[in-house]
Structure formats: C-alpha cells, structure tokens
Amino acid sequence: MTDKVMEKIDQMVKSQPVVLFMKGTPQAPMCGFSANTVRILRDVLGEDFATVNVLEDQSIREGIKQYGQWPTIPQLYVDSELVGGNDIITEMYNTGELHELLGLAPPDRTAPEITITDEARKHIESGLEELGEQVLYLNIDDQFNTRFSVEQPKGYEIVADANGIPIYMDIGTAKRANGIEIDWVDDIQGSGLVIRNPNEPAPVNQLSAQALKQRLDAGENFKIYDVRSEQQMAAGTVPGARRLDKNSIAEIEQMPKDTPLVFVCNMGNTSQGAAEFFRKKGFSNVHNLAGGIAAWQSLGD
C-alpha cells in the first residue's frame, strides 16, 4: 500500500472515538460478521459510532488489513486502537469488557423469565437427549428474529431455567426474551414450537386514506415517507411526505421509537415492506397507507 493510502486510513481511524471498518453499511451490511458487529455496537452505543464501507474502495479494503496487521473484516477501532474483529467483539460484549472499554456501566446479566408449557417441554426434551456437552441456545436479534440452536457453551452466556430446561443466550437476547412463552401447537399448518414475545413491537397498522386525512386535518404530527422515485412523487404524494432515501433512513433511526411513522407507495405493497423494516428496528407506532397513493388520490384532494 502507498503512503497516501495509509495516511488516509490513519485519518479515518482518528476521525471518531469509535470507528468500524465493515463490508456494507449499518443499514445494509454485506456480510454476516459485519451485521453482527453492527448489532452489538448499536446495542451498546446506539448510533454513536462511525463506519467505513471497505467495499467502496479496494485500496482501503486491502490497506486496513496492513494498517492494523489484522487479516479480516470487520475491524473495530476505539480511540485509534485496534480492538479486533467480530469474534473478539462478540466475546467482549458478552463478558462486559466492551462496555468497560467504552466507559459504560456493565451490562445487566439478569436471567429473563421464560415460560415453557408442559407440551413444549416434552418435545424439547426429546430433541435434547443426545446433546452430550452441547446446550440449547436461544437467539433473538435486534429485529426480533428468533431461533433455537444446539451449540457448545462458551462460558459467558446467561442461562435461564424454564420449566426445568436450561436455555443459554447472549446478553442482547436476554433483554429481548423476558416474559416470552414457548408453546407447542398442532394445527392444519403442522406441528412445532410457537414463541410469543411481548417485547416485540406492535404490528404495522393499516391506515386508510380517509383515516390518514382525518388525522392530518386534526393536526396529528405524522412523519410521512414515500418509498417511490422522485419522478413518481412529483406526480403527486401525501402532503408533507419525504422520499425514503439514505438520508431519511438515517434520520428515522435517530428518532424516538414511538415516533408515528407512515409509509406510502403506489398501492400499499412496497411501503408495507418499508414499514415492517422499521417495526423490526423497534419502532412501535408504524403505519402503512392502505391502497397507497391510488387510495389517497381517490379522495379527490
């Protein structure tokens, strides 16, 4: 690498207290390791960290490996010092070392209250008979995607006893798992475990054009985002709507989680996907304009 590239990387590293070199962006990570590291940093710091997308510049992608003598990406720098990659950050996050490094209070390691019905317990136990030294691991990510796996314990997990079954999890999952109920169902769609999580954000509300107009006329302060192109918006949109682009996504992510959001598209389908995206980010007051702009324009305004 040239001295110019190394100097550029040095400036990036020193530009903010916390800098993550990653593949992709926090909104669209391009590898699972980068996505996991971003989730950890958001859980600890919110949005108070900088990122560099190494896929945008091949010289930066290769140069950062030489700069810190670290062969893989992502790489996290704190106060200009290399901390490590995904595996190290994951372990430091769960042991509390990352919080200490960042000058934060240690994480809450209280085991969550988890309910397993007797029927679910019977089926889980039958699947755990041949585990050996492996354990049942629960993961609930920051978008409330939930999965069970069977893994070797790492030693830093939080363990909850649920109806006699030990369930291992990381500290992020523990925060999102308190109060969940695990049941077993047999219905027309098949048999399996069902997890009910009271911490999951409320479902997207389907808001009719007439209801939206009435609430806007009453002075309700919705943040309205149109997912269509600039050309489509120019032909007509809901008054006050902004285009959903990179800048507005970053703007939304800085808002309180109870901010009333409305998403708009032509017919209400694409906007539903955008609404679900932010619901899974923890926003609890999310609306989709049912029928889209077609329904709005049918009002005649």
- The CA distance from 82 to 75, in Å, is 7
For this structure, is 31 an active site residue?
A: no
Q: pLDDT over 90 for what percent of the chain?
A: 81
CATH top-level class for 3-101? alpha beta
pLDDT tier at 1 (50, 70, 90 boundaries)? low
- Which residues of the chain are in CATH 3.40.250.10 domains? 205-297
Q: Region 209-230: what's the mean pLDDT? A: 95
* Active-site pick, 265, 275, 289, 293: 265
- The CA distance from 84 to 74, in Å, is 8
Domain with residues 205-297, CATH architecture? 3-Layer(aba) Sandwich (3.40)
- Which residues of the chain are in CATH 3.40.30.10 domains? 3-101
Q: pLDDT over 70 for what percent of the chain?
A: 99
Q: What is the reported pLDDT for 91?
A: 95
Q: What is the reported pLDDT for 301?
A: 57
- Helices (H), ranges, 244-291: 246-253, 270-280
pLDDT tier at 122 (50, 70, 90 boundaries)? very high
Q: What is the reported pLDDT for 2?
A: 82
- The CA distance from 214 to 209, in Å, is 9
Task: Answer yes or no: is pLDDT of 189 > 90.
Answer: no
Tell the CATH topology of 115-196: Hypothetical Protein Aq_1857; Chain: A; (2.60.300)
Q: Region 38-57: what's the mean pLDDT? A: 93
